[in-house]
Structures are given as structure tokens and as C-alpha cells.
């Protein structure tokens, strides 16, 4: 099953006999507190206009747990996550399409969580809401949404912890999805220290998409990841700042046909532990 769907194919599926459940996961990483700029409000954006029938999902509250020693966006409580998905209409036997404002990170986080917890049919709208050319709905469905029956069951694979990420950096391929300057430790706007997990390879997730925010063709993504050592049976893992943009890289790898695990705690967890080693500069080690 393809992990992404075009806007034109989504329109066809919505008009078909088995339309997907739509999840709107608009979100932005905000560092606005220091500047006084109001933080991004995904729910307000949703209320102003969304694909008809879509339910809003709050990444910070429903796709992540409370920030702490496990990072800024640790795994959510799976009981609460399951309840949120059922409220949004998600059922195991119904396809799901997730979209965000175009960056793809938040939609990928929802895609990864649903896939990891056992949903068999989840796709991300390639290019997000800006790619949608159909009408928008401004009314909020609320109680009009049918309750789903999805019960999350965590997968045996696909999730990395700090020790697993460290081991994979030595024995397989660990990709760092953050911007190159953060990987090199030249800047660090959020976390305690800059740099990367020793042995990790820089692979900014922004290089997986074109100027329109849509994924590069699968063959180009395959070539990109093979040049980084991923593919041909090598075990692959990804991390980022807090497990959001890293999910987008896992999605890009899926488009390329390469399975990969996600270190959800990512750099926000790793760098908070002074016992963990930190590498700086362009060299993985």
C-alpha cells in the first residue's frame, strides 16, 4: 500500500463507496514565546476551513504525551490516543487519510502512530491542504462524527529508544532528520546542547520534498537514501528534534520502499541526559 495519496485521488476516494476518514493535524513547532508572537493555533485554522468531513486532531495533546525526560513529544498514553482516534471516527476497517498545512511533519506523526499501533490503511495527503483544490468546510462536525472502533496495539518493531538508536548508529544506519546546522552543532535553538548522536548521518527531511512540499518521486528518494547507506537489507532508524519531522523521514523512506524505525524521544531526550555522548561537525563520529 502506498503511504501517500494525491489530492486528485483523495477526491475520487471521497466520492467512492468506501470513503476514508479524514484527520486534520495542522501544527507548527513554535518558538514564539520569546518574541511575543502568538503561537500557531491549529484548531482555529481548522475551524476557518478544512476538507469537508475532516476531524481535527491536536498533535501536542493527542499524538504526544507530556514533555519531560522522554523528550518534547514522547509517545502518548495509548488509551488516550485510542479514545482520541475513535472520537475522530477512526475504525480498523476504514481507510484513513491524514493531512496538515503542507509541511507534512504533523500528518506523518499521525500516520506513524496509527501504523505502529496496528491500523492497516493510513495515507498522508501529499502536499497537505495547499494541494487540495476542492471546497473547504468551516463548520465543525462535532458530535456529527461517527464514533470509530479503533483499538491501538503497539507494534513489536518500528520504535527505537535511546539505547537502540545508539546501537543502530554503530550496526546499521541512523539518520538525523534535522537541519544540517543543528546536526553539526553550529546552532541549537531549542535543546540543551547542539550536535548529533555519534555515528548518525545527516539527512535533513527538507531534502525529501520539492518546492511545492510534495515528496520527490520514489526512485529519487530511493537513490537519496541508498547514497546515505540505507537500503539493501540494512536496518535503518531515524531521529529528529522530538519525533515529529523524523516521522516525516520514516514516511519518505516508506515511499522509497525502505522500512525504518523511529526514535521518538530524539534529540530532545538524548541531549537532556549529560551521560549521553554528543558529536559535532559534519563527520558522523
How far apart CA 27 and CA 104 sit, in angstroms, is: 10
249 is catalytic: no
Question: Annotated catalytic residue: which of 23, 54, 168, 240?
Answer: 240
Within 125-217, residue ranges assigned H as helices are 162-171, 180-183
How far apart CA 95 and CA 90 sit, in angstroms, is: 8
Task: Give the cell for residue 283.
Answer: 563527520
Task: Give the cell for residue 272.
Answer: 537532556
- Do residues 154 and 75 make contact, with C-beta atoms less than 8 angstroms apart? no
- Do residues 25 and 109 make contact, with C-beta atoms less than 8 angstroms apart? yes
- Do residues 4 and 248 make contact, with C-beta atoms less than 8 angstroms apart? no
- Do residues 21 and 55 make contact, with C-beta atoms less than 8 angstroms apart? yes
How far is the CA of 133 from the CAs of 17, 58, 127, 187, 253, in angstroms? 21, 24, 12, 38, 27
How far is the CA of 250 from the CAs of 21, 28, 138, 193, in angstroms? 22, 19, 32, 25
How far is the CA of 277 from the CAs of 208, 263, 271, in angstroms? 28, 16, 8
3-state secondary structure 5-54: ECHHHHHHHHCCCCCCEEEECCCCCCCHHHCCCCCCCHHHHHHHCECCCC
Catalytic positions, written as ranges: 240
Amino acid at each position: 500500500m502506498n503511504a501517500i495519496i494525491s489530492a486528485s485521488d483523495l477526491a475520487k476516494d471521497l466520492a467512492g463507496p468506501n470513503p476514508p476518514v479524514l484527520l486534520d493535524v495542522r501544527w507548527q513547532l513554535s518558538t514564539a514565546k520569546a518574541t511575543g508572537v502568538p503561537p500557531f493555533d491549529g484548531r482555529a485554522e481548522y475551524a476557518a476551513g478544512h476538507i469537508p468531513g475532516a476531524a481535527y486532531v491536536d498533535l501536542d495533546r493527542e499524538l504526544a504525551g507530556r514533555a519531560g525526560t522522554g523528550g518534547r513529544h514522547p509517545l502518548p498514553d495509548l488509551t488516550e490516543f485510542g479514545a482520541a482516534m475513535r472520537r475522530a471516527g477512526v475504525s480498523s476497517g476504514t481507510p484513513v487519510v491524514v493531512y496538515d498545512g503542507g509541511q507534512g511533519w504533523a500528518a506523518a506523526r499521525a500516520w506513524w502512530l496509527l501504523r505502529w499501533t496496528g491500523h492497516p490503511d493510513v495515507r498522508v495527503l501529499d502536499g497537505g491542504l495547499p494541494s487540495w483544490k476542492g471546497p473547504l468546510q468551516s463548520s465543525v462536525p462535532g458530535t456529527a462524527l461517527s464514533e470509530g472502533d479503533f483499538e491501538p496495539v503497539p507494534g513489536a518493531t518500528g520504535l527505537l529508544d535511546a539505547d537502540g538508536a545508539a546501537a543502530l548508529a554503530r550496526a546499521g544506519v541512523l539518520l538525523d532528520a534535522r537541519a544540517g546546522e543543528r546536526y553539526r552543532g553550529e546552532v541549537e535553538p531549542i535543546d540543551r546542547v547542539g550536535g548529533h548522536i555519534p555515528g548518525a548521518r545527516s539527512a535533513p527531511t527538507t531534502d525529501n520534498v520539492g518546492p511545492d512540499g510534495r515528496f520527490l518521486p520514489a526512485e529519487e528518494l530511493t537513490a537519496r537514501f541508498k547514497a546515505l547507506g540505507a537500503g539493501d537489507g540494512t536496518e535503518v532508524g531515524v531521529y529528529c528534534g522530538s519525533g515529529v519531522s523524523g516521522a516525516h523521514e520514516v514516511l519518505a523512506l516508506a515511499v522509497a520502499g525502505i522500512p525504518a524505525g523511529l526514535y521518538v524521544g530524539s534529540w530532545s531526550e538524548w541531549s537532556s541526559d549529560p551521560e549521553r555522548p554528543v558529536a559535532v561537525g559534519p563527520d558522523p563520529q
